[in-house]
Amino acid sequence: MKEFVLKLIVGIISQPIFWIFLILVLLCFIFYKKFRGFMGEFWVKTELNKLPKDSYIILNDIMIKSSTGTHQIDHIVISKFGIFVIETKNYYGLIIGDEYKSKWIQYIGKNKYYFNNPIHQNYGHIKGLAETLHLDENNFISIICISNQAKVKVTAKNVTQLDFLNNLIQSYKKEILDINLNEIENKIKLMNISDKTIRRNHVKNIKNTIRKNMEKEQEMICPKCGRRLIERTGKYGKFIGCSNYPKCKYTTDIKN
C-alpha cells in the first residue's frame, strides 16, 4: 500500500501540469490582496462607465502632488453637479465605522481588524485637488464605495456599495459648477503622475506613516499633535481621545 501511494505521488509530481497548478496557487496566495484591490477598482470603473457620457467625465487612478504631498485617487467623476472623488475599499466581512472616528473595524469571522477611516483619507485627496485646481472645496463631493461582498454598518454620509454608486452620484441634481468641464479634465490629466518610481514611493510612505502612527498609539501619544492620548467615555461607550481636545479631535477605538 505504501509503495502504491509513493508511486502515485511520484507520478503526480512528475507531471508538468502539477507544477503549473502549484505555481498558480502560490501566485494567487502571494498577490491575493493586490488582485482583490485591482478587481475592486475594475468593477467600480465598469460601473462608472454606465453614467451618461454627455453629463459625466470619468477619470481613474489619478496621482497628483500638492503642498502636502502626493495623493493617489481611485476615481474622479467631473460634472456640473460637482466633482465626485471616490475612494474604493474592496473589503468583505462586517465593516463598522463612524464619520468622526479615526479607525474603522473589519470583522472576518471572529477576527477583528482596524483600518484608517477612508473618509479622512478622501478628504486629504479633496484638499489636494482643490488646491491644485484652484477651486473651492465645496465643489467636491466625497464618496466611499465598499464592495458588495461586505456588510456595512457605518454612520456617515456618502458611504455606499457598488450596486448603489451611480444612483448616489445621480442623486445630486443641483448644478454648482459653471465652468468648462473639459478644462478641468485636461488640468487633472496634465497633473497626473505616471512615473512608477514616484508611485511606489507614495505607497511606501503611506505604509511607513501608518506604522509610525500605530507605534505612537501604542505609546498613548497622539499621532496628530503629539499630546497624550487618554481614555474617554462618549455617547457610544469608551474610546481613546487626545488630551488636547477640543483643539485636537483625534480619536481611536480601544483595542481589545
Contact 133, 82 (CB under 8 A): no
**Per-residue pLDDT at 237:** 67
Q: Does residue 27 register a pLDDT over 70? A: no
Any idea where the domains of the chain sit in the sequence?
31-194
For 124-152, the pLDDT digits (tens) are: 999 999 999 999 999 999 999 999 999 99
Model pTM score: 0.73
pLDDT digits (tens, 9 = 90+) for 189-232: 999 998 888 778 876 776 777 677 777 887 888 888 888 888 87
Q: Does domain 31-194 have CATH number 3.40.1350?
A: yes
Return all residues near 148 (Cβ < 8 A) that are at least 6 apart: 161, 162, 163
Nearest residue to 58 (alpha-carbon basis) of 42, 40, 78, 83: 78
Residues 6+ apart with CB under 8 A from 80: 55, 175, 176, 177, 178, 181
